[in-house]
A and B are shown apart, each in its own frame.
Chain A
């Protein structure tokens, strides 16, 4: 495991901690005063800080530190978590998330914003919490005094506090000799003086590793001699100044001890002295031998915070809480350091680490055990299961064909097989399914930011955030949802004065809910704002030539006008919603996911946007049709209705065009077989079936096909993998008879019918 992998794990954990942090803060915002919630919030920030310290992410550490200090005031009841305080904290959580992202992906963060928040946080910690400040002052010298002495001495009663003992040992900041209990052992003991020369380090050896190897031989205690360490300004960073005195009890013999230094003995002064049994062998029961570096850094980090904890009046409790937080950090890093850590720890330290981990687990309200799996592996499994399903369908079909009475035992077995494959498919799909919670949480942030900019007071209520949907859907959902939330706050909700005048509470409510409904996920976004101003929408549509001035539209039709391209009813183009992207973009991205979006609005009471999305992008509900002897699949989401054209309803229009009249409106007829070049001449519409489809441009077209075979759920297969993109075709699938059927790209077919050549479009796409 290299450093980058460890770092990646750290960032993954950061994401979890940030989610924890935000949800904790939101709980506090809702009036939750459970100390455990405050602790959870504190731990989240602390863990991020600890890990960031280990990777030298200074910006992150310094911000987290200030944040943590303020949170500590809340934790010790010196600062009341009022709405104002929590507002600052939620913003700080956003900045912390930004800083984490910057640390991972590069880029820059709004320095002014984070500096401003640091000031606000500091003001909260000091100014608004005078008791904390005054308590801190007399205690400050004490904290300084406490620093040379490790916490293990300060609070030896708490076993977990000994975790802090790692730092002094590992970094040799202190002598642990005095702390060790005197114990008698029967094992032979050795005194080792190990004084590395500079050459040892230049040859790539590492004293830590040697001492760690040594620690595997038995119980040992270490004393670092730093006497020769010069002042900082005279120090040569590449020179060796430290030496170590090690007492070890081992039954492996002196040779084993010497062999540890086998490759280093020319570059160090080494003395190994056998001691009388029981003499100098001090049991290091509270003491821990060397730990791998990441562990030490974080433990050191925890140690630095201890003075903060010590400052408080309830010193013991605070120290214990601190220790739990540090233990969690430690356990995180233990996890990061992985095998190295495990191998390194001697029996005792392993036990201690386990204890730390236990503490951490208890502290972090025991989450269900999970594993991280590479997405590729899951996708491969999903693909294989898709093939299994197809194969099973093919097998069933051929058995049915050959077994007319359908009572043989093969048939029964097949039915069971079918059930099993269905179950396997469902379970495999469930692996990719994720709760929508992360996206909803991101929306909370969006609402906060926009409320801030617009000066509106907004509350976001979320429901059903544990509703699960495929990961790809979640990933692609965030963008349209953000846009809609922006719209809802910016255009939907009124200013507080206006709301009060309308008899509503000053605070507007935006509600985001998710639920499963008949095999799809339905996401609803509602606000209690003014609703859609239909007169305005209508006028705008007339101005933009979207509708005729005397058009007779139902309320619903007017509402849906906002999904037309380039439509925005806000008088002034605000910096939020008027970025040139309108609701048409939202609609298109939802459609690209195979979803549908609808709006219903009540003037004065607000609007409700309802999105219905498929649970997965691996399968698709399609209508299987026949065109010129070929089987095609048309995505069901695109189809508005199907009809059998009547000869009287078909009207010729110009040389080649034909229109079909549907309830007194005319809709162009598109022969799919002609567009796809399956036949040379247009088929007779009366002999076929028309599928009324709605394309991304909003226009309706009647697609002519020869016959409808039925409706089926199909597994989507890529054509591009072995072939190239085919204009007019979205993908392929495999039907029950084992043959490949093509899935129609309705949008491309409709735009081709507008006169743009399919070929041309595809070569443009390829060139672009």
Chain B
């Protein structure tokens, strides 16, 4: 939280950073509705591997995405220490399973460096930029790309 304190006066955008394995990622805090602990999800038939299932979020049915699997990394083995970041893009609300929330960052747009020119699918689909914060590298993720797509949207 030290970085936040330093930059509060500068304005700019706020990001929420979280950890998956040894990597750090962040999303815009404006898309985050809440952060809650892991609860077992009800598996969905015929769902992609990264969709862990659905949980009850105060009466709404909330799909849970294993962000690690979604980004092409090793599927998570959820424990009580995992957290779910409840995010909203347009009118859809989706929970992202991550290992832990690490920081809230306030940055200026020019702090975001372009992603290196690589041909990995991850870079093309999900990464929107990288940040160098106190010697750490944090990758900014495009939320919309993470959300599960229905057939009609893909068509």
19 A/B residue pairs, CB under 8 Å, sorted by A: A630-B42, A630-B43, A631-B42, A722-B60, A722-B92, A723-B92, A724-B149, A724-B151, A726-B46, A726-B47, A732-B54, A740-B41, A740-B42, A740-B54, A741-B42, A742-B42, A759-B46, A766-B151, A766-B152
Q: How far is the CB of A633 from chain B (nearest CB, A)?
A: 11
Q: Which of A111-153 contact B (CB under 8 A)?
A: none
A767 interface neighbour in B51, B149, B155, Cβ under 8 Å: B155
Are A767 and B151 in contact (CB-based, < 8 A)? Answer: yes
Whether the pair B63, A723 counts as a contact (CB closer than 8 A) is yes
Contact at A728–B46, with CB atoms within 8 Å? yes
| A-chain residues with CB within 8 Å of residue B43 when the two chains form the complex | 630, 678
Task: Kindly identify which residue among B47, B54, B155 contacts A766, using a CB–CB cutoff of 8 Å.
Answer: B155
Q: For B59, what are the chain A residues with a Cβ–Cβ distance below 8 Å?
A: 383-384, 386-387, 390-391, 717, 734
| A724:B150 contact, CB within 8 angstroms | yes
CB-nearest residue of chain B relative to A734? B56
Once A383-B59, A738-B56, A767-B155 are accepted as A-B contacts, the answer to whether A723 and B45 lie under 8 Å apart by CB is no
Point out the residues of chain A lying under 8 angstroms from B58, CB to CB.
Answer: 387
The verdict on A108 contacting chain B, using a C-beta distance below 8 Å, is no
- Assembly CA distance A741 to B43 (angstroms): 9
Please name all residues of chain A whose beta carbon is closer than 8 Å to the beta carbon of B45 when the two chains form the complex.
Answer: 676-678, 726-729, 742
A387: chain B residues at CB < 8 Å are 58-59
Provide the residues of chain B in CB contact with A739, threshold 8 Å: 40, 42, 55-56
Instruction: Tell which of B44, B53, B92, B149 has the most Cβ of chain A within 10 Å.
Output: B44
Residue of A390, A391, A724, A739 ringed by the most chain B CB atoms within 10 A: A724
**Docked complex Cα distance between A678 and B44 (Å):** 9
B143 at the interface (CB under 8 A from A): no
6 closest Cβ pairs, A-B complex: A387-B59, A724-B150, A676-B45, A766-B152, A766-B151, A723-B63
Q: Taking the complex as formed, is A719 at the interface, i.e. its CB lies under 8 A from any CB of chain B?
A: yes
Residue in B40, B51, B54, B150 whose Cβ sees the most chain A Cβ within 10 Å: B54
Closest Cβ of chain B to A102, distance in Å, is: 35
Q: How far is the CA of A759 from the CA of B54 in the complex (A)?
A: 19
Q: Smallest distance from the beta carbon of A740 to chain B beta carbons, Å? A: 4
By beta carbon, the residue of chain B nearest A715 is: B59
Tell which of B41, B46, B148, B149 has the most Cβ of chain A within 10 Å.
B46
Least CB separation from B54: chain A residue: A740
Residues of A within 8 A of B73 (CB): none
Tell me whether B62 is interfacial, beta carbon within 8 Å.
Answer: yes
User: Is B61's CB under 8 angstroms from A722's CB?
Assistant: yes
Nearest to A672 among chain B residues (CB) is B45
In the complex, A762 has a CB within 8 A of chain B? yes
Contact A723 B148 (CB under 8 A): yes
Interface residues of A in 703-731 (CB under 8 A from B): 717-719, 721-729
Q: Which residues of B contact A742 (CB under 8 A)?
A: 42, 44-45
Set of chain A residues within 8 Å of B139, measured between Cβ atoms:
none
A739 to B150, CA, bound (A): 24
Task: Give the chain A neighbours of B151 by CB distance below 8 A.
Answer: 724, 762-763, 766-767
In the complex, A739→B40 CA distance in Å? 8
B40: chain A residues within 8 A (beta carbon): 739
Evaluate contact between A721 and B44: CB separation under 8 angstroms.
no
Partner of B60, one of A677, A717, A741: A717
**Which positions 191-234 of chain A face chain B at CB distance < 8 Å?**
none
Instruction: Mark each residue of chain A from 739 to 757: 1 if its CB lies under 8 Å from any CB of chain B, else 0.
Output: 1111000000000000000
* Given A721-B61, A732-B42: 13 more A-B contacts, CB < 8 Å: A390-B59, A676-B46, A678-B43, A723-B94, A724-B148, A724-B149, A725-B150, A728-B46, A738-B56, A740-B53, A740-B54, A742-B42, A766-B152
